[in-house]
Amino acid sequence: MKRPFVTAQEASEYLRVGKSTIYRAIEAGELPAYKIGHYRIRWSDLEAWLETYKVRKEPTKRKRTRQSDSPVIDFSDYLSTKGEVQ
């Protein structure tokens, strides 16, 4: 069973960020915490705060090009002016 609270140190180790990142979030009011000797953070608050940083990107649909969709380049006019094609 998970403990209901973690310290700022434990939160930083769990997320692999610096302790200062956790402290800044607490002091900015982004991450709720309790100050009982050291900061204590509820797991649910830490997870909610982490969700605010979730990258939400729509998947891109790639358009498949067909041979007929590709432009056809005719170099015969260019080459005829250079005297290479008659």
Q: 62 phi and psi, to 5 degrees?
A: -85, 135
Residue 43, C-beta contacts closer than 8 angstroms, at least 6 positions apart: 2, 3, 4, 5, 6
The per-residue pLDDT for 73 is 67
Quote the distance between the C-alpha of residue 57 and its chain's center.
Answer: 8
Residue 68: band (very low, low, confident or very high) from pLDDT cuts 50, 70, 90: low
User: pLDDT tens for residues 4-58?
Assistant: 899 999 999 999 999 999 999 999 999 999 998 999 999 999 999 999 988 887 7
Which residue's entry shows tokens 């309790």? 34
**Is the confidence at residue 2, as pLDDT, over 90?**
no
| Burial of 22 (C-beta count, 10 Å sphere; 0-12/13-18/19+) | buried
Q: State pTM to two decimals.
A: 0.62
